[in-house]
Structures are given as C-alpha cells and as structure tokens.
A and B are shown apart, each in its own frame.
Chain A
Amino acid sequence: MNMKSGFQVLTDEEVHEIHLASMDLLKRVGIAVHDTNGLKLLKRAGADVDFDRRIARLPPQLIEDGINKAPKEFILGGTTTQHDVRVGHGKASFRVPAGPTYFIDKETGIWREATKKDLEDSARVLDALDEIDYTGCMILPSDAPPETRDIHATELLLENTEKHVTTVPFTSRSLDSLVRFSKLLSKDEVDRRDRPRLSVFVAPTSPLQLSEEATKLLMGCAENWIPINMVSMAVPGGTTPATLAGSLMLSHAEMMTGILMAQIVQPGLSIVYGSRVTPMNPKSGVGTLGAIEVGLASAALAQIGHHIGLPVDCHGLNTDSKVLDQQSGFERSLNAVIPLLAGADIISGCGEIEGHLTMSLEQLVIDNEIIGMMRRVMRGIEVNAETLASDIIARIGPGGYFLPEKHTREYFRKEYFIPSIIERDSRTMWAKMGSTDIVKRARDKARKMLEEHQPPPYDKETIRGLRQVVDDAQKP
C-alpha cells in the first residue's frame, strides 16, 4: 500500500562508480586525520599511516569491513516509545535542523538574534506538531555563554520537547556533559543503547580532513554509545570540485573514513549518513541551500548512502530567502520532495529560512503542513474492490451523486490530507475569516500552541540533574 518509490537520479552502475572512485582516493591519496589517537586507531586496524604528515591511506577491504558493521536500522529515542524515531525502515522522518542563531520575532515579525526563550518556545511548538519527528540543535541562543552554548541549548531542548535531540557539540570538552545527559534520561545501559535520547553531529572537513576536535568527538561518542549523524559538507567549486559527481565522490570518501573509525571503536554503533552538498552562489560565493542542485544531490546521496547500507539524512525543507515568501515555499518543497522520492530516510530543514541561519515558528508550522502533504504522496493510491467502489457506482447509477454515501464519509477522512492552515475556501469565506495569508495563520497557530501545549515535565530530581550538568559545564 505504500508507494513503491523508483525515482533514481543515478543508475546503479553510476552509484558503484562513485563508490569505487572514493575507495581509490582513500587508498591512493589518503585522508588527513589531525589527531594522533585517531591515526593510531587506523594504523592498528591496518591503514598505511604517515604520522608526520598525519595522513592515513585506507585499504578498500578495511573500509568495506568497517562499514558493514554499521546497523541498517535503529531507533533514535524520545521520552516514550511513542516519540521514538525508527530510522532506516523505509519511511521517511522529518526533523528540524541544527545551528540557527537568529529568530523571526513571533510578535513583531522582526529578524533578530535568537534567545533561550525563543529556543524554549520553538521546542514546545515542535513538540506539539504531529508531522515533525525530531530536532537538531534548533537554536544556538545568543544569551547563553558562547563557550557552553551547546550544552545550554541541549538542556533546554531536552526539557521542552519529548522528541529526540541531535545536538552539535562545540568541542570534545562537551562530551562529558552529553554522556551525563544521556545517562540521566535512560532507564539503564541497555535502554541507553537501544533508544538513545540524544545523538550528535560530527563533521569531517572537506577536502579530505578530519579535524582534531571532530576526531576526538567521533571516538568519544562511539566509546559512549552516542549515535552519530556524520555530516560531510561539500561546497562545490570551493572545498570540492565544481561538479556534483566529484563533490559526491569526495565527500563519500570523507564519510566512509568517519564511519569506519566509529565502527572500529564501537562495532554496531548507530550512524546516519548525513552528507550534504551545499553549492555556493557562483556570483558571490555565498552558500546556498535553496538551489535546485541541493535537491538533486540529496537524491543522489540517498542512493550512495543506501549503497553502503546506511540510513540517509539530507537537506530538504530549506530556503535562501530571508522572509517567508514564495521563494521559501517552492525552494523547500522542491528540494524536500526530490530526495523523499529517492528514498531518503531523514529530511531536515523544518522551520529554517536564510540557509539555516534563522529559525521561524511560522515556518515550522507551515513545514508541518508541507510534510503532511508529502506523506500523503508517499502513502500512494490504494486499489482494491472497496476503493474501486464498483458496487456503489452500480447502485447509484448514471446521474446520481455520492455525497450522502457512508463510503464518502469514510473515505473523505482516509483518502485526503486535511490541512489546518492552508486556505482553500471561497473568497467570501476567506474574507469572513479575516482575509489572512498563510504566515498570519501559521503565527496564530503557533501562539495558540504555546498557550495550550506543555510537554509533561521530568521529575524534579531529573530536572535538577540536567541543570547540574549545565552548571558544571560552566565551571572553569
């Protein structure tokens, strides 16, 4: 009954060609790992390591063996099993991105620096929205101390949404806090492994580097069973070749190195293939998330990640627009639906505008609606005796109508996605409801959610524990 997706931007042969080229690159050129322990790890596993130049060359067999240990399916845990995200089982999940530092003020509509209060509000609205499954570190608040902003943000998210959180540790110094968070929120060690409440992003740096901090984080998280969303950020023409094929191939090599290292440290650790291709505007050099090539590359990434057996997370609901306009609407819809059809497991972007720099509650509510529509597409069209409804057609015959039928009552609910803020009525009715546009309706809905929705709080002891982690992180 689910739509069988057959959309491919690359042939199987092309995917394999990219994969082989990446393996060849890692064998011939190698990759720079700016951390001695990381190099030692690879050396022990059988890599050819030049410690002076900090370069590791990786034999293809080593890579294949390592990658094969990564699970194809796993759970990113919420507070209850109802909030768990099942990754890699064939249906797409949708999430909020990580890193915005600005916010569209929900009262005035003015663009400004984001605060801790904005993060709390955004997390609560996310919590109330049905279609959005989980979140990255959705805001880095300007009123939290710069050095420990990641820990403050993580704690606020954990307190204000029951959904899974993938956070952005600034440095390996944050590792201790993250492990403490994850232990506080798990029943026991088995629960912590099977339904981890917290995961992290780790990013190689193109071209062909793993920074000291990224390596330390990667190894530390793996040791402690914290799932990793590995994100290589290709910037075609800048840090990778201008061509999409070259960019996909180069970042695939970086991705495989990171995945391999994590699997050597902790065989079976949950890893998401979160690679991204973020072109620059050739005219100015500014990075773009709304370019149509983002969607095209995301579809290819879904195929490449699946080729090595990993679930894939990619860009999608993104725009370069600075306001909630038509550009935002079509860029995010197009670039989300393309990888969705290609089978991507997780699609990010919810609530962002301006290429991940700005978070907007209105956009978050609108994205919830867009996802509802996309999920309807993926549900496909059910064909059987009941849906063909031959008997009812025969009974009503030529010239009748179907509105009073029980079949109609039933299938109006089953067959159609019923939106909450999309406007589809007559002009008269629209005028009667205040002649609003979708941004206004989204803002109203967000405000109402903030008035009405509060996720159930943790017990006092857990909250004290979480806040203690933040306090301790701030001690010199």
Chain B
Amino acid sequence: MTEKEKTLQRLADSVLSFEPENVIASTRQALQEGIQPMDVIEEGLAKGLRVVGERYEKGDFFLTELIAGASAMKAGLDVLRPLIPKGGKKSAGKVLIGTVRGDIHDLGKQVVTSMLEASGFEVTDVGVDVPSTVFIEKVKELRPEILGMSVLLTTSMPEMKTVIQALKQDGLRDEVKVMVGGAVVTDNYAKEIGADAYGADAVDGAQKATRLVGGR
C-alpha cells in the first residue's frame, strides 16, 4: 500500500468512527499530503460511507449508525467544498426540503437530509409547517434541482398536491423535480399528485434523488 492509499484508507475508516472531528482531521491530513479534493471524496470519504451503507443493508448497522456516518462524511465535505476549483462539480445538486403546512413532524425530513448531504447534495431545509407560498418563493430564490416535501399526518397530504399545482401556476413545474416522502405516502399517491419520485425511506430517497439529477 502506498502512502496515499494508506491516507485514503484512514479517511474511509474515519467515517466509520462516526466522529466528525476524526473525519475533519483526516481530511486536512490528506490535503496536506497533496491529495486532490476530488480524490479525497471519491476514494476516501465516499468509500467509507459505502461501507456504512453496505453494513446497513445487511442489517449489521442500525439507522442511527447510517445517520452518524452520513453526518461524519458531511463534516469532511464541508472542509473540501471551498477547495474544489471553479467549474468543478461542487455538489450533486441543490435540494430544497420541508414538511408541508399543517404538519410539524421533523424526524423523517432530518434523516433524509443527512442522507442527501452525504450523497453530495446541498440541502436547504425550510423547516416544518411550510405553506405553499414559501416553497414557491424559495424555489424562485434558490433554483434547486429538486424540491422535497415531507408529511406524516394524512390530514396534511393534500397540501403536497397544492404545492405542485402552485408550481404549475407559476410556470416552475418544469424547472424543478418534485420528490415526496413520509410514512403515509405511497408510490401511487406520489403518481396521483404528479410528483417525479417517491422515497420509501431515506436511502431510497437519496438514490432516487441522484437518479433524478442524472447521476447513477
């Protein structure tokens, strides 16, 4: 194993320590040794998170480890992002996410946010109980590739349709992909209201988001 390979392996392992401080230290170390930021991500951090993902799929890791791994990786990405040269791909895309009006449940959205961030997305969380007017305003302001809406209460489900209709009215529907999720949402419901994708869980959501923006 070369020195570079050793450093990258340590980086991957640091993600599995679930400690952001370890990841930040290992990331800085790698940069000092002259490793390119993109390599630090692809061959170090992402490799670590892939292992976390694999062990999660196997049932060996729980959801809490998946989230902790994702947050640890994000700590490293935050160090690297300013160093990626102009024209280079700084992120997988921008995501605007929020829980729709009438619902103040936060948990699911938080989990999805950390998975999206670990997948390289820049996520703007507009919070809970978000009226359609705020979603529209923020879409206009931030021009995200994806708008994600979360809901837990059946009573607030129709609100997702309201937002999609508002996007159409403002001529924004083709500008942004719409993803929906939450315990009460189904694939059928997502199709019915004209969303582009439905995330069955956080991992599925992050994978579908990547596909929506043309990634793997």
Contacts and interface: CB of A to CB of B under 8 A. Distances in A.
Contact of A287 (B106, B154, B183): B183
A237 B158 contact: no
A146 interface: yes
B60 to A, nearest CB: 9
B25 to A, nearest CB: 28
Contacts of B154: 99, 101, 140, 146, 149
Interface in B123-159: 129, 154-155, 157-158
A285 B183 CA distance: 10
Contact of A285 (B104, B129, B202): B202
Nearest to B203: A284
A239 B62 contact: no
Contact of B201 (A99, A146, A282, A284): A284
B155 A171 contact: yes
A186 interface: no
Interface residues of B, number: 19
A235 B154 CA distance: 18
A149, A239, A283: which has the most chain B beta carbons within 10 Å? A283
A211 B62 CA distance: 30
Contacts of A303: none
Interface in A95-124: 99, 101
B107 A282 contact: no
B104 A34 contact: yes
Where chain B touches its partner, the secondary structure class is: loop
Given A140-B154, A147-B158, A170-B155, A285 B105 contact: no
Contact of A146 (B62, B63, B111, B157): B157
B93 interface: no
Interface in B60-110: 62-64, 102, 104-107
A213 interface: yes
Contact of A213 (B102, B107, B157): B102
A146 B158 contact: yes
Contact of A283 (B62, B107, B111, B183): B62
A280 interface: yes
Contacts of A213: 102
Contacts of A237: 64
Contact of A209 (B104, B184, B202): B104
A283 B106 CA distance: 19
Contacts of A239: 106-107
B70 to A, nearest CB: 13
B171 interface: no
Contacts of B34: none
Contacts of A282: 62-64
A101 B185 CA distance: 12
Given A170-B155, A235-B107, A285 B102 contact: no
B104 A205 contact: yes
A283 B62 CA distance: 4
A171 B154 CA distance: 12
Interface string A146-179: 1101100000000000000000001100000000
Nearest to B156: A170
A287 B63 CA distance: 12
Contacts of A235: 107
Contacts of B183: 286-287
Interface string A194-219: 00000000000100010111000000
Contacts of A34: 104, 129
Contacts of B62: 282-283
Nearest to B158: A146
Interface in A204-254: 205, 209, 211-213, 235, 237-239, 242
A70 to B, nearest CB: 26
A287 B105 CA distance: 14
A34 B201 CA distance: 29
Contacts of A146: 154-155, 157-158
B111 A285 contact: yes
A102 to B, nearest CB: 10
A99 B107 CA distance: 20
Interface of B: 59, 62-64, 102, 104-107, 111, 129, 154-155, 157-158, 183-184, 201-202
30 contacts: A34-B104, A34-B129, A101-B154, A101-B184, A146-B154, A146-B155, A146-B157, A146-B158, A147-B158, A150-B155, A171-B102, A171-B155, A205-B104, A209-B104, A211-B104, A212-B129, A237-B64, A239-B106, A242-B64, A280-B63, A282-B64, A283-B59, A283-B63, A284-B63, A284-B201, A285-B63, A285-B111, A285-B202, A286-B183, A287-B183
